[in-house]
């Protein structure tokens, strides 16, 4: 059975970071959910300088999750276990995510409160900055039937499209369609016609083998329409076993690349391990290293990208941090993303730890924490603009995320136009 703790790409990070005593770190457990930034913080040099060399209109957050319970008629669902006291870890995860997104326990509607908070956070950014909201399809079994028992969260494409259409100046949306569904291509076409900017798969949790023949028509369509495929690779821990974990192996991404698809590997596969399928003995290696190998293969230069969501969380290795900062030859292929709502899960980020590694000025720690109490999205952006390894920093191009869609026929969207 697919392990639910892998779901939401983010939940991997949650399980790795949340239950291991990290709550003892400064800053506490709970997101204080303060309101808009006070003026003195909004004018703090660290924050002001973070926007130097950044064109807000090109600043698209590649990786933001929509979540809901369906209480507004959105069609969103969460697995029953997240409400059942005899599943304390699942229940805690739901509470943590809702707190990260500042959805009060007594909110009249979880769906509505989630989007309202996201809009409020966005309003602290200069106009033009946008967030790509992820739909999340249900898992399917090998026959292509929906597998509710494996589906922790379901966020319908229609809902993501609807939320984006209500605030086109702030939001775009990313579709999720399981390629094994009996009507998979029809669904894919409908989402593309409705203005989806990309397609997102989480293979290990959704049960998608990137080499399965049913993916091929998808690859053809995505290549022809020049639509990027966002794939979550890696896992949270080097746990051997379940076949589906193997589906998160970055090397499997070659199947899509060989078909000419533009692929964005979420989180640069920065968590977990996978088998090195290029070696006869198939040793286990860091998923990040396998992704790095693909990045250095000349054949994928115009096709393979990664998003930098979640990579500076406490559960990543310092060598990942340093490599991403120092490999400036990759920077034109790295894309800003936040993995919202995870920046609001307090134990997952530790600016003091980055400072101790020499990657952040000590003087930046306190203002970053203060920003985060008000706006985790702004915190995550300023943090990534502030980290450095020696003189190496993330190139401003990393934050010109819109460029991925340049020449892909999305000119209306590039200026915050309609979703079509
Ligand atoms: Zn995510």
pLDDT, one tens digit per residue, over 311-356 is: 999 999 999 999 999 999 999 999 999 999 999 999 999 999 999 9
Cα 135 to Cα 162: distance, rounded to the nearest angstrom? 11
Residue 35, pLDDT > 90, answer: no
Query: Residue 346 C-alpha to ligand 1 middle, in angstroms?
Result: 16
pLDDT in tens, 163-198: 999 999 999 999 999 999 999 999 999 999 999 999
Strands in 130-134's sheet, in edge-to-edge order, are: 60-65, 130-134, 171-174
| Rounded CA separation 164/233 (Å) | 26
Q: 199 alpha carbon to ligand 1 midpoint, in Å?
A: 13
Ligand 1 centroid–CA 338 distance in Å is 8
Is residue 14 left, alpha or beta, with left meaning phi > 0 and alpha meaning psi from -120 to 50?
alpha
CA-CA distance, 375 to 122, in Å (whole number)? 9
Centre of ligand 1 to C-alpha 320, Å, is 18
CA of 9 from ligand 1 middle (Å) equals 5
40-271+282-407 homologous superfamily:
Metal-dependent hydrolases (3.20.20.140)
Q: Using the predicted structure, report yes or no on whether residue 15 has a pLDDT greater than 90.
A: no
How many angstroms separate the alpha carbon of residue 284 from the centre of ligand 1?
24
Q: Are 253 and 277 spatial neighbours (Cβ–Cβ below 8 Å)?
A: no
Task: Read off the pLDDT of each residue in 387-400 and give the average, rounded to a whole number.
Answer: 97
CA of 251 to the centre of ligand 1 (A): 20
Task: Measure 155 CA to ligand 1 centroid, in angstroms.
Answer: 13
- Is the pLDDT assigned to residue 145 strictly greater than 60? yes
Rounded average pLDDT over 231-244: 56
Centre of ligand 1 to C-alpha 301, Å, is 24
Rg, Å, the chain Cα set: 20
CA of 40 to the centre of ligand 1 (A): 32
Distance 10 CA to ligand 1 centre (A): 5
User: Residue 107 has which token pair?
Assistant: 């909110």
**pLDDT value for 28:** 65
For residues 35-48, give the mean pLDDT: 93
Average pLDDT over residues 5-18: 42
**What share of the chain has pLDDT > 70, as a percent?**
88
Per-residue pLDDT band for 410 (boundaries 50, 70, 90) equals: low
Cα-to-centroid distance, 64 and ligand 1 (Å) = 7
Distance 68 CA to ligand 1 centre (A): 15
pLDDT at 95: 86
Residue 119, pLDDT above cutoff 90: yes
Residue 243 has pLDDT above 50, yes or no: no
Q: Compute the mean pLDDT over every residue in the chain, rounded to the nearest whole number.
A: 88
Residue 280 CA to ligand 1 center (angstroms) comes to: 32
Spell out the domain ranges in the chain.
Answer: 40-271+282-407
70: which 2 tokens? 């369906």
Centroid of ligand 1 to alpha carbon of 153 (angstroms): 12
Cα 39 to averaged position of ligand 1 atoms, centre (Å): 31
Q: 97: CA distance to ligand 1 center in Å?
A: 12
**Mean predicted confidence (pLDDT) in 283-293:** 97
pLDDT at 387: 98
Q: Count of CB atoms within 10 A of residue 202's CB?
A: 27
């Amino acid at each position: 059975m697919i392990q639910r703790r892998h779901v939401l790409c983010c939940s991997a990070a949650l399980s790795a970071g949340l239950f291991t005593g990290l709550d003892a770190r400064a800053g506490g457990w709970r997101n204080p959910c303060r309101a808009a930034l006070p003026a003195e913080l909004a004018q703090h040099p660290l924050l002001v300088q973070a926007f130097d060399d950044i064109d807000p209109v090109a600043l698209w957050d590649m990786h933001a999750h929509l979540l809901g319970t369906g209480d507004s008629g959105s069609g969103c669902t969460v697995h029953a276990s997240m409400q059942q006291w005899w599943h304390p870890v699942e229940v805690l995860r739901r509470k943590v995510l809702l707190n990260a997104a500042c959805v009060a326990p007594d909110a009249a509607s979880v769906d509505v409160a989630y989007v309202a908070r996201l809009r409020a956070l966005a309003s602290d950014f200069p106009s033009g900055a946008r967030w790509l909201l992820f739909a999340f399809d249900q898992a399917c079994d090998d026959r292509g039937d929906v597998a509710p028992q494996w589906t922790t969260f379901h966020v319908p494409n229609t809902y993501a499209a609807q939320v984006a259409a209500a605030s086109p100046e702030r939001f775009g949306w990313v579709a999720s369609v399981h390629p094994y569904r009996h009507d998979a291509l029809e669904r894919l076409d409908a989402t593309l016609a409705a203005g989806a900017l990309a397609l997102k798969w989480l293979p290990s949790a959704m049960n998608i083998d990137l080499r399965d023949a049913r993916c091929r028509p998808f690859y053809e369509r995505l290549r022809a329409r020049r639509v990027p495929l966002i794939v979550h690779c890696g896992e949270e821990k080097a746990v051997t076993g379940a076949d589906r974990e193997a589906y998160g192996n970055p090397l499997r991404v070659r199947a899509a690349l060989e078909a000419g698809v533009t692929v964005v590997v979420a989180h640069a596969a920065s968590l977990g391990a996978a088998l090195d399928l290029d070696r006869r003995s198939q040793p286990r290696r860091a998923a990040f290293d396998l992704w790095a190998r693909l990045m250095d293969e000349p054949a994928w230069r115009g096709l393979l990208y990664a998003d930098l969501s979640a990579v500076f969380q406490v559960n990543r290795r310092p060598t990942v941090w340093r490599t991403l900062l120092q490999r400036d030859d990759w920077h034109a292929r790295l894309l800003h993303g936040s993995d919202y709502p995870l920046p609001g899960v307090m134990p997952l980020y530790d600016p003091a730890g980055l400072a101790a590694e020499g990657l952040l000025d000590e003087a930046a720690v306190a203002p970053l924490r203060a920003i985060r109490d008000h706006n985790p999205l702004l915190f995550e952006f300023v943090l990534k603009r502030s980290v450095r390894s020696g003189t190496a920093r993330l190139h401003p191009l990393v934050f010109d995320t819109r460029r991925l869609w340049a020449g892909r026929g999305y000119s209306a969207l590039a200026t915050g136009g309609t979703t079509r």
